[in-house]
Amino acid sequence: AEMKFDVVTPRLIHLPEPALSFGFGQSTDHPKDGLYLYGPHKADDRNKVITIGVIGTTEGLEYFRRWGRSVLGDVLVPPPKKTDKEHRLHLSNFPGMPAAFGVSFDPRDFIEYVVDGDKIETTTALQNHHEAVAQTVEVFLERVRHHDENEERRPDVWAFVLPEIIYTRCTRQARRSGVTLSPGEYVKRQKQRSNLPLLEDVIDLTKEDIFDDVPDFHRQAKAKLLKLGYTSQLVRETTLAPEAFTNAHGYPIRGVQDAATIAWNLATGLYYKTQAEPPWKIANMRDGVCYVGLVFKNLPNDRNNHACCAAQMFLSEGDGIVFRGANGPWQTENGEFHLKSTAARDLIGKVLETYEEKFGAPPKELFIHGRAGFSSEEWRAFEAAAPKETNIVGVRIKTTTGQVKLFRDGKYPTLRGTAMILDQNNAFLWTSGYAPRLDTYIGPETPNPLNVTVLKSSGERPDIETVLSDILALTKINYNACNYSDGLPVTIRFANKVGDVLIMGSARGGGKQPFKFYI
């Protein structure tokens, strides 16, 4: 019998670059341009002085002070090399923290605490990796707790200046070969247990607190500071002073961005983590729209193979919020994650309740972004949680790895914002690509598109071009850096990082926290 196939004729369009809103009601498409010309979009308290707490080795504190002094004024991009184009539009001079952000700090007035480099050498070399990471984090956290207990002046943000040894020994994949390991308290207790065979069934050392957390310094520090109510900026000594760390041939031991780009990124993070409003917002976003990214992460050392769930809510009007949901058996046999009815309804209910508290009415549209589809039980619960006036739209956003390629003139990367629309519910969207504003494509290879599918809607389905335009706009609100754009919308971009913190035993408790605590 003759087989028949439906022929799909793709429609190619180009979406305009989303504009961002800054001070004095002005807008432009590049965060650096907007901050340089107009300042942050909430520019009411210009010349505000922020308080920074800094914890590091004696050398690390000096690196941070020196960096702080430098970013109060101009930080210039390096002169072009012979191999560079005449204009490097992806690089921008940094005009100084007061000029760009309207806030300042006094490097002579940091709240400073010194950690002993020898102590870090000792804790990072403990035989049990979980104990090594936990004790190293504690070296920094005990300074924070000491400050809270003894001082009235509260920092707006804590900066941890980290020696390179922490990155070589205190990550989950760390290989501590060549390091002389010391027993530590956990190993000593194991030996004591072996001498008490009659109590073997009573003493279960695998239930110690150190095993509640993944052995990763960054995740543990964020989780514990979350419970203490502090935002934080973790920065490596080698980032602040790359020239101080060289190999035998006189070259830096790790490659870093130029000083101006580092200044833009760290300054943006410090502003975001110390202010009530983010430095910019999406301009011309539709009223009454809310975006939610679902987060799932398997719990470490959980015998029932349960996972943590959460929802990241983002608005164009302000900061994001993370809502922690219930732990449970959310992972299915095919590897996807789906919530049971009660958990799904409670999670979206928290989002809607918070939105209504802020705006006095429920959202007109609630877009739920996920990497997978939604089960029937899950979707019915989402609909049950929402009032009739809220249209819930489920959107699947998947990365691709070469299934579809587009080129300009047969060999150049396609424009960022290009979309291949297959039908009213399916499209490919190039969030990475050649950007005329930068006169370049920043990437290692020909960009791959996102596969976007509008799966479900409780009311009228939005136009696919509207969905794609929103996703493109959401690639421009990564406040942990000052980039022109990201390859993923913020609803998906930070799902793993948020999940990495939420699954920590140290982060248990609490229903919702600002997104800035997690990055």
Return averaged pLDDT per consecutive 10 residues of the chain, 519 residues in all. 60 96 94 96 77 98 98 93 65 95 96 97 94 96 97 97 96 86 76 58 57 90 94 97 91 92 97 94 92 92 86 84 93 90 96 95 96 94 96 96 85 92 96 90 87 96 96 95 94 91 77 89
Of residues 478, 476, 477, 431, the one with CA closest to residue 451: 431
Q: Are 493 and 294 in contact (CB under 8 A)?
A: no
Q: What is the value of pTM for the model shown?
A: 0.92
Q: How does 491-506 read in b/e, with b if 16+ C-beta sit within 10 Å?
A: bbbbbebbbbbbbbbb
Q: Are 111 and 56 in contact (CB under 8 A)?
A: no
Q: Using CA atoms, how far apart are residues 14 and 184, in angstroms rounded to an integer?
A: 60
Give the distance, in angstroms, between the CA of residue 517 and the centroid of all CA atoms in the same chain.
10
Give the distance, in angstroms, between the CA of residue 174 and the centroid of all CA atoms in the same chain.
22
Count CA atoms closer than 13 A to 492's CA, side-chain side.
24
243 DSSP assignment: G
Of residues 495, 473, 494, 492, the one with CA closest to residue 484: 473
Question: How many residues appear in the chain?
Answer: 519
Q: Using CA atoms, how far apart are residues 456 and 363, in angstroms rounded to an integer?
A: 17
Q: Using CA atoms, how far apart are residues 15 and 469, in angstroms rounded to an integer?
A: 7
Look at residue 294 in the predicted model and tell me its pLDDT.
Answer: 94
Q: Which two tokens stand for residue 214?
A: 């993944």
Q: Which two tokens stand for residue 397?
A: 């956003």
Rg (C-alpha) for the chain, rounded Å, is 25
For residue 136, give the H/E element and its range. helix 129-150
Of residues 265, 365, 360, 367, the one with CA closest to residue 312: 367
Among all chains, which residue has been given the structure tokens 């992806």? 90
Look at residue 203 in the predicted model and tell me its pLDDT.
Answer: 47
Alpha helices (runs of H) in 427-474, residue ranges in sequence order: 464-474
Distances (CA, A) of 308 to 311, 325, 330, 394, 517: 11, 7, 8, 20, 18
Look at residue 128 in the predicted model and tell me its pLDDT.
Answer: 92
449 DSSP assignment: P
